[in-house]
Amino acid sequence: MRQSVAAMSEKRQTAEVDLVRKQSDIKHLEETCQKELGIAVAELAANEETVLDELQLADAEEKYTEVRRKIEALGPVNQDALQEYEESQQRYDFLNAQRQDLLDSIKDTEKAIQEIDVESKKRFQDAFEKINEYFRGTYQILFNGGSGEMRLTDPTNVNESGIDIVASPPGKRLQNVLLLSGGERAMTAMALLMAIFKFQPSPFCVLDEVDAPLDEANIIRLTKLVKEMSDNTQFIFITHAKRTMEASSSMYGVTMQEPGVSKLVSVKFNGGDKPAVPVPPPSQDMAVTA
């Protein structure tokens, strides 16, 4: 009886060890099923309606292995992924806001450029028309007739257009200013200059030998026009012409009475007719003011 009891006790111990091992295997399977499939073993067994044959089981095993391999290829889980995502999202939002600000700035700049183009076109057209009107008048005064005007090379694009000057002295047909003689070009340039000064007067105007290519009659007409405009602008002529000197109210000359020694001579005219002091020879450079 003792021997039988000992044998039965040994079998019992063996069965208990086997039970513990099987319980451990079942627990491991339950954990694996829950981890990999997301359901419990009992639920999986309850949903199993058909028995898979060997081919279906092998196919399912192959799919499982492939999915498992892809999951393992993803690498370990990054515990800081959420924090990195939030930082990246903040950076993206900041850069996106900066981009939107730049786009808004570009739109505002383009709008400002368009407004400037419209305003500059308007002001240019106004100035061009008024200066052109003054130019026609001064041209007829200086040439004692004829006609002169400015023309846009591209009237459809005023902001990028050039300006051509066409003139027609008395007795000549209308032509480009480059085809005129030297004296006619000088008179045309003076007419344009005076037209600009009429549109926007300046306190001073310095003219360096502009009367050199002009004859006496043209100089007289030029000095007459200068006197009319001298109320708003002080004209300073550098000249050798006697007629220009006679029309001035004061004169300053640089002469060299002794070799190597320059001397400044100033002359004030009484009533604009006669000099109050002797005038240096007209061969010297003279600056006269009107």
At 126 the pLDDT is 92
Run of H or E including 265: strand 261-270
What is the rounded CA–CA span in Å between residue 178 and residue 165? 9
Amino acid at the residue 141:
I
Do the beta carbons of residue 196 and residue 131 sit within 8 Å?
A: yes
At 283 the pLDDT is 41
The list of the chain residues with pLDDT below 50 reads 272-285, 290
At 182 the pLDDT is 81
What is the rounded CA–CA span in Å between residue 124 and residue 173? 29
CA distances, 285 to each of 44, 226, 240, 265 (Å): 117, 20, 6, 11
For residue 197, which of 223, 158, 226 has the smallest C-alpha distance? 226
* Cα 284-285-290 angle, rounded to 5 deg: 125
Q: Measured in Å, how far apart are the chain's first and last C-alpha atoms?
A: 155
What is the rounded CA–CA span in Å between residue 263 and residue 244? 22
At 95 the pLDDT is 94
Amino acid at the residue 41:
V
- Residue 256 — φ and ψ, nearest 5°? -125, 85
DSSP-derived 3-state class of residue 250:
strand
At 270 the pLDDT is 63
Domains plus CATH for the chain? 202-290 (3.40.50.300)
pTM, 2 dp: 0.56
What is the rounded CA–CA span in Å between residue 95 and residue 123? 41
